[in-house]
Structure 1
Amino acid sequence: MARSSADDVELKRACEAAIEGTKHKVALSIRVAKSRGIFGKSAKLGRQMAKARVLAITTKSKGPKTKAFLRVLKYSNGGVLEPAKLYKLKHLSKVEVIQNDPSGCTFMLGFDNLRSQSVAPSQWTMRNKDDRNRLLLCILNMSKEVLGRLPKVVGMDIVEMALWAKENTPVASNRIRVEGGLGTSIFIKSDSQVTVEKELVSQAEEEDMETLLGTYVMGVGEAEAFSERMKRELQALEATNVYALLESETLIEEDMDEWLGIFNVKLRHMREDIESIEVRNNKLELHSANYKILIYELDKLIQRLHIPNEFAAILTGGSFDEPYMVKNIEACEWLTGAINRLQVPNLDPSYANMQAVKEKRAELEKSKNTFVRRASEFLRNYFSGLVDFMINDKKYFSQRGVLKRPDHADLRYKCRTYARLLQHLKSLDKNSLVPLRKAYCHSLNLLLRREAREFANELRASTKVGKAPTTWFESSAGSGPVPNSAETAALSDAYSKMLTVFIPLLVDESSFFAHFMCFDVPGLSNGCRSGSDSNEKPEDAQEGTVSDGNNAKINRSSSELGPLNDSLQELLDGIQEDFYSLVDWAFKADPLRCISMHGITERYLSGQKADTAGFVRLLLDDLETRISINFGRFVDDCIYMIEKTERNARQMGVLPYIPRFSILATRMEQYIQGQSRDLVDQTYTKIVSIMFVCLERTAQMDPKYADIVLLENYAAFQNSLYDLANVVPTLAKFYHQASESYDQACTRHINMVIFITFERLFLFARRIEELMFNISPEEIQFQAAMSKADLRKMLKASLSGLDKTINAMYKKLQKNLTSEELLPSLWEKCKNDFLDKYGSFVKLVHKVYPGESVPPAAEMRELLSQM
């Protein structure tokens, strides 16, 4: 029999928690179902849904008085009990068991103080009659004990209640008499045990009832015997005297009534026993079905726990040679599946803690560890053996007179034999791949470095290089014709060939390694062969893929990208030294070759943007940095020589680094390839800026000749870079800067020559201009040394023998000028500037000295044009 909720200690505690603070004590708490008219004919559909409730009989002491209550508690949304209704037991007027419920577990409690008597009271349905009797007897007992009276009881059999109270009361009881002949057995529940029982019938009545019931104690199988007995007694009665029978009619009726009442009780008990048997039969059928299902599940479990003999032998001691790899893969697949089948949720959680399952799981774990250890040891030795074989065979490497392109096709083919094995090793134990990756990287690194070293050595040995200038601004460097860049083109070709051969190889090795060693990262790009002189088709990196096709979409934020790059660093580290040696070799032979090598490197870098391995791009970045550093050293040397020339240079004439720079710039433009324009432009900016600074400082060594030095050198700079400035924007910028500086130096020098030649004339003009700021033009002739006589005297001294004076001005302009080709343009500019100044002087004289005769500007222009 199921445990009653009245014995549920947790339920009682929950009720006490719900009414905490009310000072009520819970005497009994029991789960019920609340409904309205479930079994009645007039029940509405909306009210036929039963609601879970808890009924609690509580008491509250107030001095000597004790009050009894019936509390209704309901469950909140969170499953917590909370008070719903409160009834005082003193208002309980009727307890009625609903006859329409065949089980007899439904009853109503009528209270005389309800406001609306027209609404049918709630009906309470218990799980079984035991719970019903337990609750009702507690209510009756509480009413009798606290209130001194009993409510009206309808629909309950007195004898049935008495028998139930007797059977379910393990302790002695006191008996009381109830008015109206109504008797029943009442008990109080405390701490889940029946401790008190009170009878509502007298001791004598109970003894008579027990004697009477004892006379007719029958089981389920005594119904026929009882019927036969009734027939026999009926026949005996019929055989007696009718008169005697009539005289005893009243006694017989009473006896029959008593017999029928007892029989009614027995029939009720028989009905309950039949119901109990049916319940037990249903449980037995359910147990039988469950046992069949359990046997089926255990059979499946036994199949899961069985290890095939052929797989057990392979996992613990099989060979890893190529012919046996199919069997090894099958064993791995079975082992992986077997381990997964013994894990929740693939295995029912109820089986997970079974001893047999634990033992089998431990056995599989041991087999897994043994297999992983053996396979790892074999693969480490296998990788080392493959590489050692290749290293010991010279035909795999470049030799004198023969450049050997590395070929790893056979190596990768042999490694792919074990690709699926590595995938299963990762599935069985992902940590097992860490030492394998290190072993593979160590072995292949030796091979790659040996191949790169032999290839680079043979490249240098087989490259014939013409002689190229290594210094451009030394005093010993001449300003002859521009050397041909083809003389050192072999240097760039050798560097390009090194990248063409090894950059795709390194990318392919990175891609193959990532897939072969089961890294869960985005696929490596093979679009790295961006060299214009590369005719090789990239190897399909997907040949090394060991995935089953379900890894097409890979999380790009994979946590394995970092470990992959660390492994690739171990795989390829050290190979950069051979690239560096090639770069340094080319730099020593021809520093300007850094420009073309820089362009080649940039072109390869642009093809590596999608390469997620990282190392190849880092290698190219390092090469680009190395080339830039070497070229920077060359530029620094050039700047040093320019500054050194400044300290030792003669002040007059064109400085030597001006024409040498044009030769250098012409050569640099021949070396530009790809995207190396920035490197060259930065070099132009750095060198020309220093040249102009040094030129200005050299010119200031003797201010008397400063403008001559400036105009001659700026003119030489423009003449030497005229063609390049038309096609190179950076040089065009400096060309315009030199042009402005040249014009300024010319203007200053010519003004100085004009002023010296016609000093008195232009001093007189300057004096007039200064006086005009303070006095009117008419008053100037009355100032000291500014009279008309002074004007005539100055004109006679300045303009007499004008042809000789102009010829002297020409000779002064020619004096100290080393570049004769500049003289014609300077003389034309000098004449024009002089005419402008003389014309301004004539206007001043006419304004201040009206009527005075001064040779006109037109006459002076005519005179100059004839000279």
Structure 2
Amino acid sequence: MAKSSADDKELRRACEAAIDDTKQKVVMSIRVMKSKGAWGKGKFRKGAQMAKPRVLAVSTKDKGGKTKAFLRVLKYTNGSALEQAKVYKLKRLGKVEVLTNDLSGCTFMLGFDNIRNQRVAPVHWTMRNLDDRNHLLVCILHICKDALGHLPKVVGIDIVELALWAKEHESKVSKQQNFVDGPSGDVFSEDDSTVTVENELVSQAEKEDMEALLGTYVTGIGAAEAFSERLKRELAALEAANVHAILESEHLVHEVLQGLELATVCVEDMDEWLALFNVKLRHMREDIQAIEIRNNKLELQSFNYKALVVELNRLLEKLHIPSEVSDCLAGGSFNESSLRQYIEACEWIRSAMRGFEALDPSYAKVRAVREKRAELDIIKLTFVRIACEFLRDYFVNMVDSMMSDKRNFSQRGQLKTPNHVDLHNKCKIYARLMHHLKILDKSSLPPLRKTYCSSLNQILRREAHEFANELRAGTKTPKTQSGWFEGSTAPNQNVNSSVVSAAYTTMLAVFIPLLVDESSFLSYFMRFEASSPDPPSIHDADDDLSMMEVDENGTNKGALDLGALNESLCDLLDGIQEEFFAVVDWAHKIDPLLCVSMHAVTERHISDLKAETDGYVRLLLDAMEDRIRALFTRFVDEARHQIEKFDKNVKQTGIMSFVPRFALLASRMEQYIQGQSRDLVDQAYIKIIGIMFVTLDNIAQANPKHSDIFLLENYAAFQNSLYDLASGVPTLAKFYHQASESYEQACMRHMSVIIYYQFERLFQFARKIEDAMLTSSPEEIQFQVGMSKSDLRKVVKSSLTGVDKHITAMHKKLMKSLNSEELFPVLWDKCKTEFLDKYDTFAQLAAKVYPNENIPSVTEIQDILASI
């Protein structure tokens, strides 16, 4: 068997070293495994938590004649070093429980009363074998008994078996050090172990009582067998005495049995009487219940009859149709003077219909209800038919009277602004009637709407036609202008086209609010709201006021039936767009650039339309905007075509006419745009300038000899003409920079041609030096063929002898090649700068390859250039 850790002296010394208090003495130390158990008694789960190695040490300390005992838990740190983890006072030990779920019996739990209620899982201690467990438990019990004066409760192990184990291992246990006597004392002796067991099983008082009792029976008995025989004899004597007592009381038993028989007979008679009475009572209870049910039915029937009479009287009142209502609504004709009576009758019908709807569904099958409902429907439909016929004739006659009066329309020399206030007032008289018609029969409104819209459409179209004709006739327009890029001269930029633009603005300013107002009035008057609330009583408002409130934008506050409204608006405004298109075409024919201002005015009106009823007017303006865009796009395409005509295989020189004309065109368009959306004008710029640049490149390619002169002159003219506009227009600024880049490239190419014409041999020799330096060192280049010092001297003599004459010839050639004198100073400065840069490069290369050769310095050449 492996040596127990309880006998490990090294372990005990390590525990003493780990305890801070040097006055404490370690009585026992033993290795254990610590694990957390589940809550609840006896609920042991193996593997519930990983076991951790620990050392349990029992220590004592003397203090003032009293002994204190502790149970210390030590853990391993840094390998094998021990460190104190917890300390428990053994005087708080209340229970020692060996867990029965562990079949090995090596796991136990120590219950301390000071931590009993804490919310922590109990700690389970597991020994390697039963001997280690018994060693620790015997030591703890012995200390609790002798030093602390009490024993904890032991659960799960027999204390007698523990005492027997301690006796068997007495020699081994006796080697433990006593906590009182010091190192020489023994913890357990034979007497001590016996006392420990007896004190646990029997107290001293109980022991004395047992000895006294046994002393009474043991007197005169020398052996246990004799004592047992004596007890048997006394038991037999007691049993015989009991049987004799029972036989002597036999007559009493007979008397009791007779009394029980008499009581049984009485009870049976009583049960028969009770059964008879129960049947009679049940029959009586059934009779009473039947009488109560009959009485309740009679009371309920009487109550129902009374309620039925009241309900029938109320129903008769609801079903009654007054004669004045039926006579008014079902009359043969519609009398305009009786409008108030018609409205009151309609309100009565509405209340009657609500009364029918509020009736219980069971009344729907009643014959009287069905007949009255059918009569009410007939009256309602008859009135709706008569009223609709009257309103259709009323709308037609009202429009015919307006159409026959020429004063309502524009005439020669007099513009007439349409005014429909009187027309609306005449219609508002029947607004309440229209609302009742919608409630009574929704299908009656579409024909009325169709008649109203078609009639009013005639007035609107004629007003717009007469107004547009007189507007065009009364506007003094300039002559029709020719194409911007055709002919020898551009159109006169001072032509005053503002009167034409003002005519279009006037047309929109007059008719767009009129059309918006008509759309809103149509929505209100023809009741296009999706829901139809009950109108106010006839006594609460006048006939010419609206039942539905109208908000600031002219739309009803109720939800609109937009689908039906748009259909009616189409009927109302159909064809009027042609009059607007005629004005647009007229203005475009006079000056296509007016499309820019007309587009801006149209956009402004579109942005002002926000109400739901303005949807069709917005579509009309969108159509005009598309028409203006199409006309302006056609103008731009024509301008592009006119520019393309310049490229017809004919040699062109000088500045092309379309370059300055475009500057005039751009300035006119910027005047017309008036701060509105730039999309239309920017797209025109992109298209026209794009074709201008393409045409310039094509013309230059047709004459390669003078292509650079042609390009730099035209691009310079483009920049000069658009300098002011490009600073404020991003699109023109982009093309301005593009023209500047093309101008610089053309200048560099032309300067190179002028310079190489006079100094070609000199700069070709410099290029040969650069190419040779890529493969050879500067010292080796002068020994190559054609690169010797004599070759250099020949080149310098032919090119730089009389260099002032060569520079003067270059100056004359540049002046002769240009058509624009304004560009010459700038180009001559560029030419001198380019020549100096190239000569400087040549001088540096010659100094590296031919260091001892004498060539003119850059300063000398610069002085010669400055003198010309």
| C-alpha displacement of 1:478 | 3.9
Write the distance in 2 (CA, Å) between the matches of 1:745 and 1:643: 22
Q: Which one-letter code corresponds to 1:643 in the other structure?
A: E
**Which has the greater radius of gyration?**
2
**1:479-558 mapped onto 2 (5 Å cutoff):** 483-484=493-494, 487-520=496-529, 545-547=546-548
* Residue in 2 that maps onto 1:108: none
* Residue in 2 that maps onto 1:647: 648
* Residue in 1 that maps onto 2:366: 354
**1:227-266 mapped onto 2 (5 Å cutoff):** none
Deviations 1:641-682 (A, max 9, x none): 000122265421111111111111122122122414221121
SS of 2:646's partner is helix
CA contact (8 A) 2:524 2:555 kept: no
Write the distance in 2 (CA, Å) between the matches of 1:774 and 1:522: 95
Q: Which one-letter code corresponds to 2:564 in the other structure?
A: P
* Residue in 2 that maps onto 1:587: 588
| C-alpha displacement of 1:817 | 1.5
Write the distance in 2 (CA, Å) between the matches of 1:545 and 1:642: 62
**1:791-806 mapped onto 2 (5 Å cutoff):** 791-806=792-807
| Corresponding position: 1:293 with 2:302 | no
| C-alpha displacement of 1:429 | 1.1
* Residue in 1 that maps onto 2:472: 460
CA contact (8 A) 1:470 1:590 kept: no
* Residue in 1 that maps onto 2:738: 737
TM-score (norm 1): 0.65
Structure 1 pair 807/501, CA: closer, same or farther in 2 (3 Å)?
same
SS of 2:817's partner is coil
Write the distance in 2 (CA, Å) between the matches of 1:680 and 1:568: 33
Write the distance in 1 (CA, Å) between the matches of 2:546 and 2:341: 21
Q: Which one-letter code corresponds to 2:421 in the other structure?
A: A
Write the distance in 2 (CA, Å) between the matches of 1:402 and 1:408: 18
SS of 1:484's partner is coil
Write the distance in 2 (CA, Å) between the matches of 1:825 and 1:438: 76
| C-alpha displacement of 1:153 | 9.9
Write the distance in 2 (CA, Å) between the matches of 1:337 and 1:634: 66
CA contact (8 A) 1:599 1:673 kept: yes
CA contact (8 A) 2:550 2:557 kept: no
| Corresponding position: 1:690 with 2:702 | no
* Residue in 2 that maps onto 1:445: 457
Write the distance in 1 (CA, Å) between the matches of 2:429 and 2:355: 28
Q: Which one-letter code corresponds to 2:802 in the other structure?
A: G
Write the distance in 1 (CA, Å) between the matches of 2:282 and 2:832: 149
* Residue in 2 that maps onto 1:847: 848
* Residue in 2 that maps onto 1:326: 340
Which of 399, 406, 415 pairs up with 2:418? 406
Deviations 1:105-151 (A, max 9, x none): xxxxxxxxxxxxxxxxxxxxxxxxxxxxxxxxxxxxxxxxxxxxxxx
**1:84-163 mapped onto 2 (5 Å cutoff):** none
Structure 1 pair 564/153, CA: closer, same or farther in 2 (3 Å)?
farther
CA contact (8 A) 2:435 2:527 kept: yes
SS of 1:490's partner is helix
Q: Which one-letter code corresponds to 2:688 in the other structure?
A: I
CA contact (8 A) 2:402 2:408 kept: yes
Structure 2's unaligned 5+ residue stretches are: 1-269, 533-542
Identity over aligned residues, as a percent?
A: 58
Write the distance in 2 (CA, Å) between the matches of 1:544 and 1:569: 27
Matched length: 587
Write the distance in 2 (CA, Å) between the matches of 1:861 and 1:156: 155
CA contact (8 A) 1:580 1:623 kept: yes
* Residue in 2 that maps onto 1:21: none
Write the distance in 2 (CA, Å) between the matches of 1:276 and 1:730: 105
| C-alpha displacement of 1:159 | 10
| C-alpha displacement of 1:815 | 2.7
Write the distance in 2 (CA, Å) between the matches of 1:744 and 1:154: 139
* Residue in 2 that maps onto 1:313: 327
| Corresponding position: 1:382 with 2:383 | no
**1:9-48 mapped onto 2 (5 Å cutoff):** none
Which of 461, 482, 488 pairs up with 1:476? 488
Q: Which one-letter code corresponds to 1:768 in the other structure?
A: I
Deviations 1:174-214 (A, max 9, x none): xxxxxxxxxxxxxxxxxxxxxxxxxxxxxxxxxxxxxxxxx
* Residue in 2 that maps onto 1:722: 723
Write the distance in 2 (CA, Å) between the matches of 1:843 and 1:767: 14
* Residue in 2 that maps onto 1:607: 608
Structure 1 pair 555/418, CA: closer, same or farther in 2 (3 Å)?
closer
SS of 2:351's partner is helix
| C-alpha displacement of 1:789 | 1.1
* Residue in 2 that maps onto 1:576: 577
Write the distance in 2 (CA, Å) between the matches of 1:851 and 1:653: 49
Structure 1 pair 555/394, CA: closer, same or farther in 2 (3 Å)?
closer
Structure 1 pair 268/608, CA: closer, same or farther in 2 (3 Å)?
closer
Which of 392, 398, 413 pairs up with 2:404? 392
* Residue in 1 that maps onto 2:820: 819
* Residue in 1 that maps onto 2:432: 420
* Residue in 2 that maps onto 1:217: none
| Corresponding position: 1:833 with 2:847 | no
TM-score (norm 2): 0.65
Write the distance in 2 (CA, Å) between the matches of 1:847 and 1:522: 99
Structure 1 pair 545/696, CA: closer, same or farther in 2 (3 Å)?
farther
CA contact (8 A) 1:423 1:547 kept: no
Write the distance in 2 (CA, Å) between the matches of 1:155 and 1:626: 116
Write the distance in 1 (CA, Å) between the matches of 2:396 and 2:772: 102
| C-alpha displacement of 1:157 | 6.0
Write the distance in 2 (CA, Å) between the matches of 1:339 and 1:389: 39
CA contact (8 A) 2:550 2:556 kept: no
| C-alpha displacement of 1:792 | 1.0
CA contact (8 A) 2:409 2:466 kept: yes
Structure 1's unaligned 5+ residue stretches are: 1-151, 162-264, 524-541
Structure 1 pair 746/268, CA: closer, same or farther in 2 (3 Å)?
closer
Structure 1 pair 478/436, CA: closer, same or farther in 2 (3 Å)?
closer
Structure 1 pair 674/601, CA: closer, same or farther in 2 (3 Å)?
farther
Write the distance in 1 (CA, Å) between the matches of 2:511 and 2:497: 22
Higher mean C-alpha displacement, 727-736 vs 560-569: 727-736
CA contact (8 A) 1:491 1:586 kept: yes
SS of 1:646's partner is coil
Q: Which one-letter code corresponds to 2:433 in the other structure?
A: L
Write the distance in 2 (CA, Å) between the matches of 1:843 and 1:159: 151
Write the distance in 2 (CA, Å) between the matches of 1:800 and 1:315: 123
| C-alpha displacement of 1:733 | 1.5
Structure 1 pair 414/153, CA: closer, same or farther in 2 (3 Å)?
farther
CA contact (8 A) 2:755 2:835 kept: yes
Q: Which one-letter code corresponds to 2:664 in the other structure?
A: I
Write the distance in 2 (CA, Å) between the matches of 1:841 and 1:544: 99
Structure 1 pair 451/643, CA: closer, same or farther in 2 (3 Å)?
same
* Residue in 2 that maps onto 1:201: none
Write the distance in 1 (CA, Å) between the matches of 2:613 and 2:562: 8
CA contact (8 A) 2:588 2:631 kept: yes
* Residue in 2 that maps onto 1:302: 316
Structure 1 pair 805/581, CA: closer, same or farther in 2 (3 Å)?
same
* Residue in 2 that maps onto 1:341: 355
| C-alpha displacement of 1:340 | 2.1
CA contact (8 A) 2:485 2:643 kept: yes
